[in-house]
């Protein structure tokens, strides 16, 4: 099956956080194939914007021509352009090459770091141009500039009579985060935020408009495309927020129990005792039962500020909004899981050899569970036991190959094993039986002490940050 082609026409950000680089990354994450035309070279990073060198209009059109002649492009997204005249030339050329092409324009007026591309854009100059667009995606500040001092409601009416308008609400003081889709000849449709994330991440506007374009190319309606793109961007922002609020997650609890109720009881006991990283592992249960239990487990984890991963099931992780998934060697490949989940989800993978680690590194997982350390009854079809010597040998190779991914020891680990394991360079441990206890006053006190002691081990024995970052 040929992947859909989505064309992005935008500036180049050397830091990769915005512009055509971010656009192509978004397209690929969503399963499409990105083509790009550069409208400007910028000198910037994620915090500072120094300079913009505009691409000559003739060069832009030459880039468009060779791509449009070669690839069946049905959707194009436009970002920063130098002038309305250049925009006019781009739109006319796209429509000349493919009259049915759908064009999404993100009218970027100012960079996230405050650099102003345009002081003003006259709406009257845009009327004919807007009729060639399928949808535009301004934020509230940009719609004010487009209005040129006119009544904003009137401006919205003028624009939405010519093309769809997806008004982003992140810059509004009132109803912050509520996006509104204004459709031609239809009532507006509101998209309230799942929650307000206090972060203004570089490139989020590019990601949103490109995600809408990609979902449209995949056959979704404008309404559904905007809904899915908003969720995708939420995950993108959440990813950034988690990087800002980096937590040292070194101790993972892998749930066990004779039934779902016991799994939840043990998860609750661990969370209330200070555990911050939980994997729900329910083997040989129907997916419906796992899904139901996962919702309850997520409620518990949210109550105590813990993160929840789902073992094996990408669909359950996505449906519940859990923090991620742990994939075994015979599960869905991490790259495919990333396409389904998108950014903001933690994806871990299981390894037993150096070759496994190298493969998972190529798949860009967020952490690797290496084991088993010793024989364990919680797993069937157990891989060869590694022990301290196996960990030492593999971690030395990891260091030599400069693989910078957190590696977590798994499999039959006891409290006495943790310090020797850490000496090998391992960055975390995942345990099950060590933290699985029936609830009682004495057990709760003991569990809290155990978790606190393990966390102290990591603080005392590491000379580098032992974190599990969430990657896009």
Binding site per annotation, positions for Mg(2+): 312, 331
Question: What is the rounded CA–CA span in Å between residue 325 and residue 334?
Answer: 9
CB 278 within 8 A of CB 255: yes
Contact in structure between 165 and 159 (CB atoms under 8 Å): yes
CB atoms within 10 A of CB 451: 20
Best CA proximity match to 74, nearest among 218, 227, 232: 218
State the CB neighbour count (10 A cutoff) for residue 331: 17
For residues 350 and 325, the answer to whether their CB atoms sit within 8 Å is no
Which class for 134: exposed (0-12), middle (13-18), buried (19 or more C-beta within 10 A)? middle
Sequence-distant contacts of 191-200: CB under 8 A, at least 24 apart: 191/226, 191/227, 191/230, 193/169, 193/234, 194/231, 194/234, 197/234, 197/237, 197/238, 197/241, 198/241, 199/237, 199/240, 199/241, 199/244, 200/112, 200/170
Cβ atoms of residues 435 and 253 within 8 Å:
yes
Enumerate the known binding-site residues.
279-283, 311-312, 331, 350, 376-379, 412
Q: Long-range CB contacts (< 8 A, 24+ apart) of 297-300?
A: 297/255, 297/263, 297/264, 297/267, 298/322, 300/264, 300/267, 300/268, 300/271
Sign of the torsion angle spanned by Cα atoms 365, 297, 439, 327 = negative
């Amino acid at each position: 099956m040929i992947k859909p082609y989505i064309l992005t026409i935008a500036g180049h950000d050397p830091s990769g956080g915005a512009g055509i680089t971010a656009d192509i990354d978004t397209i690929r994450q969503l399963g499409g194939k990105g083509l790009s035309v550069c409208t400007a070279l910028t000198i910037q990073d994620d915090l500072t914007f120094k300079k913009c060198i505009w691409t000559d209009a003739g060069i832009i059109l030459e880039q468009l021509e060779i791509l449009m002649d070669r690839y069946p492009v049905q959707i194009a997204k436009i970002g920063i352009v130098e002038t309305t005249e250049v925009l006019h030339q781009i739109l006319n050329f796209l429509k000349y090459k493919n009259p049915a092409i759908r064009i999404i324009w993100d009218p970027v007026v100012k960079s996230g770091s405050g650099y102003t591309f345009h002081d003003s854009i006259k709406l009257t100059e845009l009327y004919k141009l807007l009729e060639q667009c399928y949808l535009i995606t301004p934020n509230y500040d940009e719609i004010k500039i487009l209005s040129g001092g006119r009544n904003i409601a009137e401006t919205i009416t003028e624009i939405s009579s010519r093309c769809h308008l997806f008004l982003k609400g992140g810059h509004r003081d009132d109803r912050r985060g509520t996006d509104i889709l204004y459709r031609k000849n239809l009532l507006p449709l509101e998209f309230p935020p799942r929650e307000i994330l206090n972060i203004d991440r570089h490139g989020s506007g590019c990601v949103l408009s490109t995600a809408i374009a990609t979902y449209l190319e995949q056959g979704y309606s404008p309404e559904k495309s905007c809904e899915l793109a908003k969720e995708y961007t939420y995950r993108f922002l959440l990813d950034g927020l988690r990087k800002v609020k980096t937590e040292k997650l070194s101790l993972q609890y892998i749930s066990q129990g004779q039934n779902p109720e016991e799994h939840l009881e043990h998860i609750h006991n661990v969370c209330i005792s200070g555990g911050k990283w939980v994997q729900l592992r329910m083997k040989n249960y129907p997916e419906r039962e796992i899904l139901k239990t996962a919702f309850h487990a997520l409620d518990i984890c949210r109550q105590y500020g813990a993160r929840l991963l789902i073992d094996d099931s990408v669909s359950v992780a996505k449906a519940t909004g859990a923090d991620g998934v742990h994939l075994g060697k015979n599960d869905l490949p991490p790259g495919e899981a990333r396409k389904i989940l998108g950014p903001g989800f933690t994806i871990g993978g299981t390894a037993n050899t150096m070759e496994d680690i190298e493969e998972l590194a190529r798949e860009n997982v967020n952490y690797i569970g290496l084991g088993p350390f010793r024989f364990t009854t919680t797993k069937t079809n157990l891989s060869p036991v590694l022990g301290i010597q196996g960990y030492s040998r593999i971690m030395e190779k990891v260091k030599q190959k400069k693989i910078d991914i957190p590696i977590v020891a798994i499999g039959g680990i006891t409290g006495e094993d943790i310090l020797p394991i850490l000496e090998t360079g391992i960055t975390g441990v995942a345990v099950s039986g060590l933290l699985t206890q029936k609830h009682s006053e004495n057990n709760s006190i003991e569990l809290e002490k155990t978790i606190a002691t393990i966390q102290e081990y990591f603080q005392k024995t590491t000379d580098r940050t032992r974190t599990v970052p969430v990657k896009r």
